[in-house]
Amino acid sequence: MNDKAKKPFEKLAAYQGEKLKELIEGIIHCCQERILFQSQKFDLTPAELRCILLFKSEKYLTVKGIAQKLEVARSRVTKIMEGLILKKLVQCIDDPEDGRVKLFSLTPAGQKKTGEIDGFIKEIHHQLVVNLKIGDRKPVLHSLEILRSSMEIVKERLLY
């Protein structure tokens, strides 16, 4: 294909790239609003909400592990954990293998709250699917899988 023939495809790709950017920004904004709503609904800060959900797949977490998963400084994790301890959702114990390390785990109240949050999130996603026409559900999910795959490929290219 010569340069003249490539021009319309380049313009189309540029337009589609801009449209994709706008759509993703809209989705991110919507997700941020949902997180803010969830935080208020469950009487947690957004950071506490993200933190407490880390325990869904972990029995114990350290400050270092939480900091890595949330991508924040350890000092920020200390503040978040203080809030969760005050709310009696998390407890802290010394690591039996290294007394310098503190292990955090959910209290029974924290487990209950995490279950409520998880149920709420599942219901939101259920409602998203229900709001789609039955015939649109499979193509939407398939398109999102393709988009996620493409995003992973681009991410890998950016890292290397």
Same domain, 88 and 106: yes
Tokens of 69: 């998963």
Picking from 101, 99, 104, 57, the residue whose alpha carbon sits closest to that of residue 80 is 104
Buried b (16+ CB within 10 A) or exposed e, 5-23: eeeeeeeeeeeeeeeeeee
Same domain, 34 and 112: no
Count of H-run helices and E-run strands, the chain: 6, 2
93 DSSP β-pair partners: 103
Number of domains in the chain: 2
Helices 46-53 and 74-86: crossing angle in degrees, nearest 10, is: 90
pTM of the model: 0.81
Same domain, 105 and 138: yes
CA-to-CA dists, residue 60 to 3, 41, 46, 65, 119, angstroms:
58, 25, 21, 10, 22
Same domain, 48 and 32: no
How far from chain centre, in Å, is Cα 90? 20
Q: For the domain that residue 90 is a member of, what is the CATH number?
A: 1.10.10.10
Tell me the residue range of the domain where 78 lies. Answer: 42-159
User: Which residue, of 26, 41, 56, is where some domain finishes?
Assistant: 41
Picking from 51, 42, 39, 46, the residue whose alpha carbon sits closest to that of residue 81 is 51
pLDDT in tens, the chain (160 residues): 556 656 778 889 999 999 999 999 999 999 999 999 999 999 999 999 999 999 988 899 999 999 999 999 999 999 999 999 999 999 998 878 877 888 999 999 999 999 999 999 999 999 999 999 999 999 999 999 999 999 999 999 998 8
Q: For residue range 125-142, what is the model confidence (pLDDT) as tens digits?
A: 999 999 999 999 999 999
